[in-house]
Structure 1
Amino acid sequence: MTVTVPLYDIFGDNFVITLASLTSNARRTLDSVEFDERELRDALLTASEVAKAREGAGKFDFPRSGNDKRSFSASLKCFNIPEGTPVSTALEKVANSLSPQPSCEEVSSLSMLKPEFYEYARTPGFYGGRKTGIEVSPTYVMLSVAGWVLSRLGRAPVANREYVGVYAFPIDIDRKFSTIPSLLKSLGNGMIPGTEPATALSIWLASKMLESKAIVDQVMLYFMSEPGGQSPARVTSGQIVSVERLVKHKKFSDVHKTAEIIARRALSPDPWECDKGGFSVRFSNLLFEVLTGSRREVELTYFANREYMSWRNSDDDKKKECLDYYKSASSIANKVAEV
């Protein structure tokens, strides 16, 4: 039996497509996604398992603003799910309620599903703002929750001690994304060290994928200010990240754990006394370029060894961890340069 889920040409479609990418024969049309019922059920149960694993690491609930409460409650009620039910249990209930599909009235779209819209949008030719009302089906809402579970890598600190949610989406419905649950489970509490620079984030993500044996060649990353209280969801930035050339480099598997430590330092918005002159960012940039073939290995070894020798020969009374840090960078560079 086929389950047809409408698309609404809003951001939430990404969540539905993420869920569909875990099935083998979902078909995307112009305005919907068609699922095989059994495969959709299996994908929902997979999302439920991921949610259960991450619920144990701290708060894990679909983010929503105060204005979303009525719509979310109505979506839960459509599937006979009580308020306050954990995400994992709710998705399990949805998985077992697909046949026959519940028939309920559409609800106002939640903020997380339409971050490209504010409550009111200014329209040329109209004074003030016009209400951007978008009605969606409760099934779309609950499948989007499942897609949220399967796409949310975690949250990352940015300036001024604020955080953004980090989301990874497949490039399209037929791209390999079936390994993503293993990566999500391995990330535990879902703390991402930061969002910039992109080179360091790619190295960090490639290392995590290699460690969890969950390689996803190419993903769309979005950073979102998640809703809460009276604040709506907002996409702050996004980028396409490809790890294929990193993980396929013959030396990356040898150095990825140490490289991840340096990438983590490069991503952190908090200054570190050992990281003089932005060394971590500069090293991550060079390492990424060398591993992807756009720079020569000698440039990385010269830079890393020069900084290491400078620290080793310094008369300053520095902490031992500073010298060890630069020594580890030197080791990575020398390892990558080995024939």
Structure 2
Amino acid sequence: MKTTSLFACITALLIILCFRGSNGQLSSTFYATSCPSALSTVKAAVTAAVAKEKRMAASLLRLHFHDCFVNGCDGSILLNDTSTFTGEKTAGPNANSVRGYEVIDTIKSRLEAVCSGVVSCADIVTIAARDSVVLLGGPTWTVPLGRRDSTTASLSTANSNLPSPSSDLSTLISAFQAQGLSTKDMIALSGAHTIGQARCTVFRSRIFNDTNIDSAFATSVKANCPSNGGDANLSPLDLVTPTVFDNNYYKNLRSKKGLLHSDQALFNGGSTDAMVTTYSTNPTTFFSDFATAMVNMGNISPLTGTSGEVRTDCRKTN
């Protein structure tokens, strides 16, 4: 009898431990039973949005990055201000800059219609980022799922954690290390700047003041970004193939044609020059490392199990 009771206790303990362990794990098949159309629903909406405006692919990719670097990949960036907290949308790196909120709203609405209260906003953002990259010719990867949504946001953390376009190499390395990402991850993820555009206000100082910049390139960009005015004017981060996800970003850096100061910092006689050279000459390696780094970034402090919630409206808590 004692042996039977002991066995029962051990079995129960193992079940509890296994259950607790599974709560902290993401899985690519998380919605296979609860919402089998989740991935296809996200893909259809992203495909339509990018077909309407190719720049949206870069915006959705950036939305994921700006979410994950602030208290983890928890959908906090999507929350509007409330009486109890100020959200992240008005933070310096996000205000008048981060886009794609309406696309996420559309996806959430469609998912609520087919499987209400199941797919988190945090997962939607993560899947949309992957689909956006694929649509512009970039690599694909299997997205681990099962994140839950935060019930709060942090303006101060958004202002402090997201790297500035004026960052130097050591600052970039430190910012990514603080999120558990390696220097290799940082260099690969920076390749996201092979698509998208930046506002004049964030690169004006580089084109007028930096010395490690191709003069003809600087002159061409100044036409749309004068020394005074035109703060909101846009310029492609990659002038060559701005709407194709390729390795031209790294080729540009080797030619001193990085648009942002933080871009060119990756190839400026420092420790990351060799990896930039590798990615500039081997797109397959870049694609592989980028996919790995995206999974690593998507794994930053997710809320799982009973933590957080699954919002029915991505802009507000339940």
TM-score band w.r.t. shorter chain: under 0.3
Q: Which structure is larger by alpha-carbon Rg, 1 or 2?
A: 1
Report the structure, 1 or 2, having the larger helix content: 2
Report the structure, 1 or 2, having the larger strand content: 1
What TM-score results when the alignment is normalised by the length of structure 2?
0.23
What TM-score results when the alignment is normalised by the length of structure 1?
0.22
